[in-house]
Chains A and B, each alone.
Chain A
Amino acid sequence: MNNDFLEIKDLKKSFGTGEARQDVLRGMNFTVKKGEFCVLLGPSGSGKSTLLNIIGGIDTPDEGYVSINGDKLEEMNEKQLTMYRRKHLGYVFQMYNLIPNLNVKENIEVGAYLSDKPLDVEEVLTTLGLQNHKYKYPSQLSGGQQQRVSIGRAVVKNPDILMCDEPTGALDYKTSKEILALIEDCNKKFGSTVIMVTHNEAIKYIADHVIKLRDGVVRHNDINEKKISAFELEWYPWMWHSKM
């Protein structure tokens, strides 16, 4: 066995039938190594979220497979999939998806309860700069703060794989950089493998591994030798939309 942690093999997925049929993934192949910071780049509608859902075991491919440590997701039953999500995954959603009637701390505890090796909730709150807000409810927080909570909820599980679906998609420049720095931290500090989806090409410079998607297939699959830290990152609004 090589040190490929996550393997995506000939993955195909389409939605709808007949006229309305849309092939979103058309045979996607790539592997991710353990501990890698991997960025999935692609324009809106290119199937990034669909791919992430399949990797997360909450959606199923039409063909091909996803395997983690050699275990194929498609061979797992409902219970095993639940255990897979519980043990290995941390999920940061684009739209934060916090539970509205729980406060910040409780939202993070939701993640902690689901893990058998959780990090200390208070420590996570401190790391994310949420100590002063821990008793606030999601509706009382800014977008950046909500995304921090969402990251906290994923990170507190101490997951093997941290999946982030456009975590900065709705945030401004400065906040985005802070959020990216946090994700970078988790990757370094806890050794989590990070798979981050974005349509902002500028972000690729902080990754070890950049995968560009287009028309349902992998267009470029590059290892970035000269990665920089999130704070060194700079981009301008006009750079946000990839010209690929």
Chain B
Amino acid sequence: MGIFLDYWKMAFFNIRSNKVRAFLTMLGIIIGVSSVVAILSIGNGMSNFISGSLSSMAGSYFEVYTNGSKPITTRILDNTVEKFDSITGYSEVLAFKATAAGLKKEVEVKVESGNEMFKGKDSNEIIAGRYFDKSEYDLAKPVCVIDQNGAKEIFGREDVVGEFINMVAYGREFTAKVVGIRKAGSALQSMLFGGPKIKVEMPASFVNELFGMDPDSLYDVLLFVDDPENAVEMSVKAKQYIAAALNERGTDMVKSYELNSGIAQFSSILAGVTAFVMLVAAISLFVGGVGVMNIMLVSVTERTREIGIRKSLGAKTVSILWQFLIESGLISLTGGVIGIVLGYLFSFLISAIIKAAGSVTVLPEFNIVMILVVALFSMGIGIFFGWYPAKKAAKMTPIDALRM
């Protein structure tokens, strides 16, 4: 075992005496490992972000909509709520773009309307005032809840409860009183759901009156469930039930959408992208490994005489093998450790860039298991690519090695 320690010492001596070369050899490994680490930790951060920020919105409801050829009546929806215990209620969805008169200029907003249950569609909390209530809905009051960003854009400040917003949509002018402020959603949310960034929520009854629409003919509804676990199952069952009630069983007139499956899809796209970038990083790691092999071959050639001396003094073939393997393993392990540190720092840089670009906080995540795996993996690369040169060195006969 003392001998074994000695190999480490030898490997260390040799790296020490060829610092620049050893560093250049490590460079390939450092670049490869740091990109793998950065990608992994950002990828982890992303999926944490998705499961955290997005999933909080998901699960409490699902959406059922028709292609517009037949409306869903409130009677069908009442029956649906009646039939399925897990479904607690529903709200119509009417959404359209409108132009609001801002302090300095006109601002494009997205009006989303429903009944008082609509509050639960968005996981961002009400930070000032309140949500419009059932009586305001029943009386079709011109009230609204606006998000933080919208308040700032339209009024230049956030404490706008009690103020009025003048809007125009499809040639109709209307005014709504602000009763509550909702916390701004993340950029990713507006990216996923599209449309203008500012969201104005209003009672759908008011919107129906405004445009003279039949309040009993719904084309898009949210159905709320008691437990997120039931969302997926209920979305399927309710869709079938409603389709049957409309005599459209088996056609695709009625559709349902459940956010969790959307998130799953998004996550799998993200996983695919991560895997692809990982592959590219892995290739650079491979190239780094070839670099290690190259340098080790040079090292073997350079140290032929040393090998001859050692062997003529009685060093075993396996000792020479170990000496070179440990050296290449140590070089790539060191490169790997440096790469892990750099990669982790790098992932914070990426996180900062993402935050600056999209005001999304993606916290890089990298745990001890991953550190160990990556460190062992990079050492493995050194040993794998060091094997051939080491074997070549070990096989040399002392007389040949000495003669060179």
Contacts and interface: CB of A to CB of B under 8 A. Distances in A.
Interface stretch (B11-19, B32-40, B176-184, B204-212): B11-19
B6 A82 contact: no
A42 interface: no
A148 interface: no
B398 interface: yes
A101 B14 contact: yes
Given A99-B306, A113-B3, A106 B13 contact: yes
A97 B6 contact: no
Contact of B18 (A101, A102, A110, A111): A101
Interface stretch (B101-109, B131-139, B311-319): B311-319
Interface in A23-51: none
B370 interface: no
A86 interface: yes
Contacts of A100: 306
Contacts of B17: 101
Contact of A97 (B18, B309, B316): B309
B313 A58 contact: no
A78 B317 contact: yes
Contacts of B119: none
A9 to B, nearest CB: 21
Contacts of B397: 58
Contacts of B312: 56, 58, 85, 91
Nearest to A78: B317
A186 B46 CA distance: 71
Contact of B314 (A53, A85, A97, A109): A85
A110 B317 contact: no
Interface in A74-123: 78-79, 82-87, 89-91, 93, 97, 99-102, 106, 109-111, 113-115
A113 B14 contact: no
Nearest to B400: A58
B354 interface: no
A106 B2 CA distance: 15
B310 A110 contact: yes
Interface string B138-178: 00000000000000000000000000000000000000000
Contacts of A91: 312-313
Best-surrounded residue of A86, A97, A99, A111 (most CB of chain B within 10 A): A99
Given A58-B398, A101-B17, A113-B2, A82 B314 contact: yes
A126 B14 CA distance: 26
A184 B399 CA distance: 27
What range describes how many residues of A lie at the interface? 20 to 34
Given A97-B305, A101-B14, A106-B13, A53 B313 contact: no
Contact of A86 (B309, B314, B399): B314
Q: Is the interface of B mostly helix, strand, loop or mixed?
A: helix
A99 B313 contact: no
A85 B402 CA distance: 15
B313 A157 contact: yes
A59 interface: yes
Interface string B299-332: 0000001101111111111000000000000000
A207 B195 CA distance: 102
B18 A58 contact: no
A74 B40 CA distance: 59
Nearest to A101: B17
A59 B317 contact: no
Given A86-B314, A113-B2, A58 B399 contact: yes
A153 interface: yes
Contact of A58 (B2, B14, B305, B402): B402
Contacts of A85: 311-314
B309 A87 contact: no
A233 to B, nearest CB: 28
B398 A114 contact: no
Contacts of A56: 312
A5 to B, nearest CB: 18
A139 B310 CA distance: 19
Contact of A114 (B14, B306, B313, B317): B313
Given A101-B13, A101-B14, A101-B18, A83 B314 contact: yes
Given A101-B14, A113-B3, A113-B6, A58 B311 contact: yes
What 6 A-B pairs come out closest when comparing CB atoms?
A86-B314, A101-B17, A85-B314, A58-B398, A58-B399, A114-B314
27 contacts: A53-B399, A56-B312, A58-B311, A58-B312, A58-B399, A58-B402, A78-B317, A82-B314, A82-B317, A84-B314, A85-B313, A85-B314, A86-B315, A89-B314, A91-B313, A97-B309, A99-B309, A101-B17, A106-B13, A110-B313, A111-B313, A113-B3, A114-B315, A153-B313, A154-B313, A157-B313, A157-B314
Given A85-B313, A110-B313, 17 more contacts: A53-B399, A58-B311, A58-B398, A58-B402, A79-B316, A82-B315, A86-B313, A90-B313, A91-B312, A97-B305, A109-B6, A110-B310, A111-B313, A114-B310, A114-B314, A154-B313, A157-B313
Interface of A: 53, 56, 58-59, 78-79, 82-87, 89-91, 93, 97, 99-102, 106, 109-111, 113-115, 153-154, 157
